Chain A
């Protein structure tokens, strides 16, 4: 069964350091998502890509977070500098490009996530 790959699974860093997360979506999935999930809460969308283009980054703290999907396949999410409040699970997901269809019924496939702890 196809999976969304994420790495690293766990990352511990000190505040002010740089952190990067990588995601490889399911082959053929045009849409890629990065969500942040604070412990005990629901996932919050940080950025959404359609192929290599950003379609929504309204909740991405752009002063310290950046995301790219250069070739429209895998993606990297970076935090620089990391702050204590960034401690969370960073989830990557992908879906077929169904947003432009009348159904708009996109089902997301998630990776296992990258757990970040900032000390």
Chain B
């Protein structure tokens, strides 16, 4: 079952530019998380935002959450080649005890 949908599916930018990825979901959530996956590897947790929060920062990452629009965005500032990866949003649906992932955004940073 699919809960989160990322947009765009693929994004290619120049090093130093900012990258913005969006996630939309269908049902009410407890929290929303973003994960990164380098090619052929497992996922790495980046940041978690709770349903009562609107914005969180972690280093070059900024996440926003709009529960009225059922959407979230991940902003990576001053991108680096090492940021090249797939980024997934994942949600914990209210009343459920599991994490459901979206399809991901493939980000390519060109040197």
Binding site for B on A (CB under 8 A): 4, 33, 35, 41-45, 48, 55-56, 59, 89, 91, 93, 99, 103-113, 115
Contacts and interface: CB of A to CB of B under 8 A. Distances in A.
Interface in B30-56: 30-31, 33, 35, 40-45, 48, 50
Interface of B: 1-2, 4, 30-31, 33, 35, 40-45, 48, 50, 88, 92, 97-104
Nearest to A107: B45
A108 B99 contact: yes
A48 B42 contact: no
A91 B31 contact: no
A110 B42 contact: yes
Nearest to A110: B42
B30 A43 contact: no
B42 A45 contact: no
A42 B88 contact: yes
Q: Which applies to chain B's interface (DSSP): helix, strand, loop or mixed?
A: strand
Contacts, number: 63
Contacts of A109: 45
Given A45-B100, A55-B97, A112 B48 contact: no
B42 A113 contact: yes
26 contacts: A35-B101, A41-B103, A41-B104, A42-B4, A42-B102, A45-B100, A48-B97, A55-B97, A59-B1, A89-B40, A91-B43, A93-B42, A103-B30, A104-B92, A104-B97, A107-B33, A108-B35, A109-B45, A110-B35, A110-B43, A110-B44, A111-B42, A112-B42, A113-B40, A113-B42, A115-B40
B99 A45 contact: yes
Contacts of B98: 45, 48, 56
